[in-house]
Amino acid sequence: METAIKGPCRILIISDSHGRLANLQQLMKKMKSPDLTIHCGDLEALPEDIERIVGSKLVYVRGNCDFSPSLPLERELMIDRYKVLVTHGNRYGVSGTPLILQEEAKGRGYDMAFFGHTHRPYLNIGSDITLANPGSISLPRQDNGRASYLIMEIDRAGEAHFHQNYL
């Protein structure tokens, strides 16, 4: 289990950039660098290029369109007091329903699971587990058609707060 960061902090969560980094560059012109960036897969770019754009440490996983075996399929992180699973989600059938991922993450003792793959934002803050999908920073599929991302903030009391955002 990797300790990613302690609070208070601000974490940028993105997914499905598919090698198209213009929206991410546009976003970073508007906001200051986060304390940590999490990419939920389908980078289709070098992680170093994304890390350079966001200006913070990057934690990433392999998506179904990433073919480098050096990219991990999943990551286990400690974000302050939260045990977090980061996955692309395709292996858990998230295009149909996030319930398989929810049950798997809960059964493995996670507090949160971050995923991508659907290109649609999703946030479910439950009493036992939080599921979060930032949508796609480059190729959105939701009704408003706007690129999306999540900001997770850990406050001074160690509580997590999520903010869904659109470009």
Reported as a single tens digit per residue, the pLDDT across 121-133 is 999 999 899 999 9
Number of separate domains in the chain = 1
Domain region containing 129: 2-166
Sequence-ordered alpha helix ranges (H) in 31-167: 47-54, 99-107
How many CB atoms neighbour CB 24 within 10 A?
A: 23
Cβ atoms of 104 and 97 within 8 Å: the answer is no
Report the CATH number at residue 160. 3.60.21.10
φ/ψ (deg, to 5) at 97? -160, 145
Q: pTM of the prediction?
A: 0.96
**pLDDT band with cut points at 50, 70 and 90 for residue 19:** very high
CB 16 within 8 A of CB 42: yes
